[in-house]
Amino acid sequence: MMSGEEMKALLLRRARMVEEFLPSCVGGDMPPRLRDSMLYSLQAGGKRLRPVLCLSCAALFGLAESVVLPFAAAIEMIHTYSLIHDDLPAMDDDDLRRGKPSNHKAFDEATAILAGDGLLTDAFGRMTTVDLPASRVLAAVGEMARAAGSTGMVGGQEWDMIYTGMPPVSLDELRRMHAMKTGALLRASCVCGALLAGAESIELQRISRYGAALGVAFQIADDILDVVSDTETLGKPAGSDAEHGKNTYPSLVGLDESRRLAQEQARHAQEAIASFHGPEAEFLRALALYTVTRVA
């Protein structure tokens, strides 16, 4: 069994690997202000959980981190674009992200929109540079496109906008929204790593279940932290969910039940990969627990 400290050490090492690679993902002949805006958000820090999941699920099937790194970094580009756009006045209207002014505050709204557009589009080009069989790369790119698009993250954000300020929605509606907005990208990060490594169909199904449960656990934990934590710890405005009238797990079922549901989903994630053994499987199981015990 991998200890919590061992898990955090590997998480940090892989996150740093991604951090060091990210600057190389923004280059070429573009307006300097656009480059600065893209790098401003891309290098603003964060857990780098999604690329780490991609690296780890590839490593679970024996594929070296260095081979998968461009694809994993591209996932972070997609995640970063979504944060830039989420913070815009037309969306969540947040002025702070990761302890710094949001992109549209540091630059302007038009540049922030274009920086997000650039990161999203360039990400798919970056994915194609992975030196692996084309069939694997194509399958992974397709998986990520579905997760990031209208039936995944983008669609989930639209549901979030629709539900904001509405009377309480049902728990099933909340689950659907979060499965799309947050869960889809987390699940796909896991599946893409396994696809790039050539995992078999039954293995992909288990990894997909792991990622889906992890995504739910992560979102519930985020909802809880927005209530119980503070702005300095979170690096973004605490209490903004309630201020914006958002439907969340705590607002629907309370903090105690939210914590129980988060722990339940973490267990589901661990159970989904119970048949996998070795350090990488232990890391993924420990990471599921960490997801619901983190403080930021």
Helix pair angle (49-60, 4-21), 10° resolution: 110
pLDDT tens digits, one per residue of 79-91: 999 999 999 999 9
Which tokens belong to 243? 């201020």
pLDDT tens digits, one per residue of 54-108: 999 999 999 999 999 999 999 999 999 999 999 999 998 889 898 899 999 999 9
pTM value is 0.94
How far is the C-alpha of 164 from the C-alpha of 58, rounded, in Å? Answer: 37
**Cβ atoms of 189 and 260 closer than 8 Å:** no
Q: Count of CB atoms within 10 A of residue 289's CB? A: 17
The pLDDT, as a whole number, for residue 165 is 84
**Cβ atoms of 162 and 177 closer than 8 Å:** no
